[in-house]
Amino acid sequence: MKNLLVLIAGLALVSSLAGCAKPPQEEMNGTKAAIEAAAAEGSAKYVAEDNKKVNDEYAAALEEIKVQEAKWFKNYDKAKQLLAQAKADADALKAKTATVKEELKQEAVAAFAEATTAVTDAKAKLETAPKGKGSAADIEAMKADAAGMEAELATIEPLIEQGEFVAASEKAASIRDRANAISTQIDEAAAKKARK
């Protein structure tokens, strides 16, 4: 009987000690903050796949905490591990987001500069284009084209400011190609005229 009482007391002690284990609030807060920091950097926009992976990891960690909370014998070791992993990945996500974002921004800025130069060059060439027979109407049409490009060029900087780097790059590339096509046409016309 005495042994039985000792066993029960021992179990009660273990049970009470284990039941008192608290959820890893500090780790939860740290991971959540790391994920929010990555999100603030724009992870969902620039590295969506990685962003989802980290959020799924965090959700799995929270599920593990729920499991343990409902248990008599709580053990948050696995939850802590999962949270630590999610936090490390969130930190890496934030860094990766910043890198990708900066690369995209640089590409957009460069594309915008190229497009601006191309439009400026095309406009300058249009001013000095050979005004031989048959070219006046074409030059007028190309001037209208260049004016349209210039107007659309003005929408690229706001795109960059809004962080729409891919959109800005693609639009700039399209305008650059169109402007270069005008310059090529004028160069070809000038070369043709020079040969005559």
Partner 1 sequence: MKCSRLKRGLLLTVLLVVTGCSEPPAPTEIQLALAQETELWRAGASIYTPESYQQYLSALNSARDLYTRERSRMVWFRDYQPVAQSFAQVHAMGEKMQGEVQSVALQQSTEITQTADALEKRIILLKELSGTLKDRRLAMRKLTQADIRIEDARRLAKERRSKEANEKLEAARIDIDAVIKTIRPLLERFADRQQIARWKAQVDQALAESRREGKDLIIVRKVDRQLTLYRKGGRVRDFNAGFGFNFLADKLYSGDKATPEGEYKIVKKLPYSRFYKALLIDYPNQEDQQRFALAKKKKLIPANVGIGNLIEIHGGGDDSMTNGCISLQDHHITDLFDQVDVGTPVLIVGTIDYDNIIASALRGLN
- 4 in contact with partner 1 (CB under 8 A): yes
CB closer to partner 1, 103 vs 138: 138
CB closer to partner 1, 94 vs 176: 176
The interface mask with partner 1, positions 6-45, x = CB under 8 A, is ----------------------------------------
Q: Shortest distance, CB of residue 102 to partner 1, whole angstroms?
A: 21
Select the span of 12-20, 91-99, 121-129, 137-145 touching partner 1 (CB under 8 A): 137-145
Q: Shortest distance, CB of residue 128 to partner 1, whole angstroms?
A: 17
Q: Do residues 183 and 122 touch, judged by C-beta distance below 8 A? A: yes
CB atoms under 10 Å from CB of 55, counted, come to: 19
- DSSP three-state, residue 110: helix
- 170 in contact with partner 1 (CB under 8 A): yes
Q: Which two tokens stand for residue 44?
A: 């969902």
Q: Do residues 34 and 89 touch, judged by C-beta distance below 8 A? A: no
Q: Shortest distance, CB of residue 19 to partner 1, whole angstroms?
A: 13
CA distance 192 to 196: 7
Measure CA 108 to chain center: 13
CA 145-147-149 angle, to 5 degrees, is: 70
Q: Which two tokens stand for residue 130?
A: 């050979």
Task: Give the interface with partner 1 as residue ranges (CB under 8 A).
Answer: 1, 3-4, 49, 52, 56, 63, 66-72, 131-138, 140-141, 144-145, 147-149, 151-152, 166-167, 170-171, 174-175, 178
